[in-house]
C-alpha cells in the first residue's frame, strides 16, 4: 500500500467517525486504566457490565483498597481470569498511592511498572487519556494492518512500529480507535464484511467476501480521490 492510499484510507475513517473513542466506559483516567486491565481476553461489553456497579461503589485507588480484595474479586467475577485481574488491580491501586499520589502517570515507563499493565494497556491510556499518538495493537489492529496491506508485520511490536511510521501525522492520534472499530465491526476475523467496508477499494486483501460498494465508497471518498 502506497502513501497516497494510506492517506485516503484514514481520510475516509475520519469522515466516517470524526471523533472516535474507546467503547470502554470511564469517567476518569483511573477508571479507564482499570477497565483496560480488565479487558484483556474479554469484551468491552463484558467489562462495562462489571465496572458500572464497581465504579459506582469504588472508583479511586483508595476506594478500591477500602473495598478489599475479596469484594473486588466478587465484583468482577463475570470477567475472564477475574481472580488474577483482581489481584493486579488491587496491587496497582497500592502502587498508585505509594508512588504516584493516587494519580495515573502520563509516562510509559511508570505505567508499565504497574501490576497488570503491559505495553498495549499503557498505549491505550497514553492515547485515550493523555492524547499521545501511540498505537495499541490488539488482535483487531494486527489483523487489519496485515490483511489490508496497511502495515504488514509478523509480531505485534513490528506492526505497532510500522503503523507509527506510515500513518500520516495528522491521523496518528485517532488511528488506534479507527482501526480497532474497523476490525471489530467490518474487517472481522472469520468473515470480513467487505460489502460494508468504506476502504474496500483501497484494501490489498485478495479474498474479498463481497464486491466493494460503489455507493459507500463514493460517500466517504475524499475530493482528491474523486478528481
Active site residues: 120, 138
* Close Cβ partners of 85 (under 8 Å, ≥ 6 residues apart): 37, 38, 40, 76, 79, 116
* Residue 12, Cβ density class (10 Å: 0-12 exposed, 13-18 middle, ≥19 buried): buried
Q: How many CB atoms lie under 10 A from the CB of residue 176? A: 27
Q: How many CB atoms lie under 10 A from the CB of residue 157? A: 11
38 with 50: CB under 8 angstroms? yes
The span from the CA of 27 to the CA of 25, in Å, is 7
How far from chain centre, in Å, is Cα 134?
10
Amino acid at each position: 500500500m502506497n502513501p497516497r492510499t494510506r492517506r485516503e484510507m484514514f481520510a475516509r475513517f475520519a469522515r466516517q467517525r470524526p471523533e472516535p473513542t474507546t467503547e470502554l466506559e470511564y469517567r476518569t483516567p483511573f477508571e479507564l486504566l482499570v477497565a483496560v486491565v480488565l479487558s484483556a481476553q474479554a469484551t468491552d461489553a463484558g467489562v462495562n457490565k462489571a465496572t458500572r456497579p464497581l465504579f459506582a461503589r469504588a472508583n479511586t485507588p483508595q476506594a478500591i483498597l477500602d473495598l478489599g480484595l475479596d469484594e473486588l474479586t466478587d465484583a468482577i467475577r463475570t470477567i475472564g481470569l477475574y481472580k488474577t485481574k483482581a489481584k493486579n488491580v488491587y496491587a496497582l491501586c497500592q502502587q498508585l498511592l505509594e508512588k504516584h499520589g493516587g494519580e495515573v502517570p502520563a509516562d510509559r515507563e511508570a505505567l508499565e511498572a504497574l501490576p497488570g499493565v503491559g505495553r498495549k494497556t499503557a498505549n491505550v491510556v497514553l492515547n485515550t487519556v493523555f492524547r499521545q499518538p501511540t498505537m495499541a495493537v490488539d488482535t483487531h489492529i494486527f489483523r487489519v494492518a496485515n490483511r489490508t496491506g496497511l502495515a504488514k508485520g509478523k509480531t505485534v511490536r513490528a506492526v505497532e512500529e510500522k503503523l507509527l511510521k506510515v500513518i500520516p501525522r495528522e491521523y496518528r492520534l485517532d488511528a488506534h480507535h479507527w482501526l480497532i472499530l474497523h476490525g471489530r465491526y467490518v474487517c472481522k476475523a472469520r468473515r470480513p464484511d467487505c460489502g460494508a467496508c468504506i476502504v474496500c477499494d483501497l484494501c490489498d486483501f485478495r479474498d474479498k467476501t463481497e464486491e466493494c460498494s460503489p455507493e459507500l465508497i463514493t460517500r466517504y471518498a475524499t475530493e482528491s480521490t474523486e478528481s
